[in-house]
């Protein structure tokens, strides 16, 4: 920033580094970054390369190569540029006195101020942004933001922070608390007004954890158990290869828009006979003809763990003779060979089912 006079080029350099650093760490990315920046002039490359970063292309096509100049306009005009990236570009490239909050900053600020509520909750995140905006150095905001993130990455690290070497240890309430020193103002958890930044009453300060009491995340919920009947309908295709019917899931919700074998959520503890009946009715819609429950062959069960669902697929198969006319009024559906199945947008769970 100190040596590059062109503000758009500065913004471009910071932006590219932020995009690359979302994928990996500085040590891994720096060589790629330097080579990329050597061979690309921002405006030329944006015009020539089929970049997968639409906001970068938008700068060229709609903003005449001029990157917006404030965190607010960066976020507003460039879809995909979030609050953090906007703050980083604006503070580092343009010297706007605006804060940034990333995972490292969350950790440092929660420890500095003993914020013990769930650090991913909107109330805490909003408060951290307020704090970052209030703290940022007015004359060197870019350096300040990078220093704060670096402090989190190198000193105030998640497991064993180096408090003795920390340049802000005098200001750190978590450290004061660890050392049994009173804070100059009441701790939020002692103030007795039930503020949204306090640790939950059922999870008080654990002295064995020291400063790593902060930040805190909400306890993970147990995944809920679900059962789904799924049926692999198969036929002999016109070229002799086996083909399978796949249908597309709705465009929102779990696994939105992915393809799967026709499936049906089941109530827990449903008897097998009832399962077959329900599945046969469901399949009739896809095949356009009655399906005999006896024709359904139970293959077995496949368990797949999503982050919040423990899913059991009860897998059936049903060979079909002759052609099946797919009803265009239903969700999109198609017959695929094994190769086509694997090349389709199918979930890992469905690959296991196959
Ligand atoms: Fe983090 Fe320790 Fe520094 Fe506090 S004193 S900010 S806990 S490293």
Q: What percent of the chain has pLDDT above 90?
A: 58
Collapsing DSSP states into helix, strand and coil, what is residue 334? strand
Cite the beta strand spans of the chain per DSSP E: 224-236, 242-248, 259-260, 263-266, 297-305, 309-319, 333-336
| Ligand 1 pocket, CB under 6 A | 108, 111-112, 155-156, 161, 163, 166, 168-169, 172, 174-175, 211
- The string of pLDDT tens digits covering residues 188-237 is 555 555 677 877 777 778 889 999 999 998 777 788 999 999 999 999 88
d(CA 238, CA 241): 7
* Nearest-CA residue for atom 2 of ligand 1: 163
- Please state the atom number of ligand 1 nearest to the C-alpha of residue 152: 1
DSSP code string of 272-285: HHHHHHHHHHHHHH
Catalytic, 340? Answer no
d(CA 261, CA 230): 6
pLDDT value for 307: 81
CA of 175 to the centre of ligand 1 (A): 6
CA of 15 to the centre of ligand 1 (A): 29
pLDDT value for 346: 94
Closest CA to 313 of 201, 228, 251: 228
CA of 298 to the centre of ligand 1 (A): 58
104, 151, 153, 174: residue to mutate for ligand 1 pocket, most atoms within 8 A of CB: 174
- The string of pLDDT tens digits covering residues 10-31 is 998 898 899 888 878 889 999 9
Return the DSSP state at 189: G
DSSP code string of 32-85: HHHHHHHH--HHHHHHHS--S-HHHHHHHHTTTTPPPSSHHHHHHHSTT--HHH
Element (H, E) at 159: none
Torsion sign, CA atoms 72, 78, 83, 89: negative
Q: What integer is the mean pLDDT of 84-100?
A: 97
- Split at pLDDT 50, 70, 90, the class of 50 is very low
- Please state the atom number of ligand 1 nearest to the C-alpha of residue 169: 5
Q: What is the 3-state secondary structure (H, E, C) of 283-299?
A: HHHHHCCCCCHHHCEEE
CA of 172 to the centre of ligand 1 (A): 6
Q: 81, 75 in Cβ contact below 8 A?
A: yes
- The string of pLDDT tens digits covering residues 325-344 is 777 777 789 999 999 999 99
Per CATH, the number for 7-96 is: 1.10.340.30
169, 171, 176, 215: residue to mutate for ligand 1 pocket, most atoms within 8 A of CB: 169
CA of 111 to the centre of ligand 1 (A): 6
Q: What integer is the mean pLDDT of 127-137?
A: 96
Kindly report which listed range (51-60, 123-132, 246-255, 329-338) carries the lowest average pLDDT score.
51-60
Q: What integer is the mean pLDDT of 273-297?
A: 90
> Beta partners for 351?
none
Catalytic residue from among 4, 18, 260, 272 = 18
> Beta partners for 310?
225, 305
* Nearest-CA residue for atom 1 of ligand 1: 156
Query: How far, in whole angstroms, is CA 108 from its chain's centroid?
Result: 22
Query: In CATH, what is the architecture of 224-353?
Result: Alpha-Beta Complex (3.90)
Domain extent listing, the chain? 7-96, 122-213, 224-353
Query: How far, in whole angstroms, is CA 232 from its chain's centroid?
Result: 31
The CATH class of the 122-213 domain is mainly alpha
């Amino acid at each position: 920033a100190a040596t590059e006079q062109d503000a758009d080029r500065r913004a471009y350099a910071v932006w590219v580094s932020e995009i690359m650093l979302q994928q990996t760490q500085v040590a891994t990315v720096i060589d790629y970054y330097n080579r990329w920046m050597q061979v690309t002039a921002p405006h030329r490359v944006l015009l020539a390369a089929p970049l997968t970063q639409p906001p970068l292309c938008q700068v060229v096509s709609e903003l005449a190569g001029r990157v917006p100049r404030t965190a607010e306009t960066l976020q507003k005009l460039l879809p995909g540029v979030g609050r953090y990236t906007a703050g980083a570009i604006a503070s580092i490239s343009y010297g706007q006195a605006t804060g940034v909050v990333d995972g490292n900053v969350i950790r440092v600020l929660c420890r500095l101020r003993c914020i013990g509520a769930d650090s991913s909750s909107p109330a805490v995140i909003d408060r951290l942004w307020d704090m970052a905006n209030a703290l940022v150095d007015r004359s060197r905001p870019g350096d300040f933001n990078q220093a704060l993130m670096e402090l989190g990455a190198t000193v105030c690290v998640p497991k064993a922070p180096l408090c003795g070497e920390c340049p802000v240890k005098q200001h750190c309430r978590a450290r004061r608390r660890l050392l049994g020193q009173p804070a100059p103002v009441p701790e939020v958890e002692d103030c007795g007004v039930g503020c949204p930044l306090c640790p939950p009453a059922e999870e008080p300060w654990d002295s064995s954890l020291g400063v790593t009491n902060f930040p805190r995340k909400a306890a993970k919920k147990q995944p809920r158990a679900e059962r789904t009947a799924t049926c692999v309908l198969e036929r002999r295709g016109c070229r002799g290869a086996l083909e399978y019917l796949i249908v597309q899931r709705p465009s929102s919700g779990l696994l939105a828009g992915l393809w799967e074998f026709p499936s049906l959520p089941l109530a827990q503890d449903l008897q097998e006979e009832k399962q077959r009946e329900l599945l046969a009715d469901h399949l009739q819609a896809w095949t356009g003809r009655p399906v005999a429950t006896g024709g359904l062959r139970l293959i077995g069960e496949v368990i797949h763990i999503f982050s919040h669902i423990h899913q059991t697929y009860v897998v059936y198969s049903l060979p079909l003779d002759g052609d099946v006319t797919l009803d265009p009024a239903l969700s999109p559906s198609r017959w695929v060979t094994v190769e086509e199945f694997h090349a389709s947008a199918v979930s890992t769970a469905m690959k296991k089912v196959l």
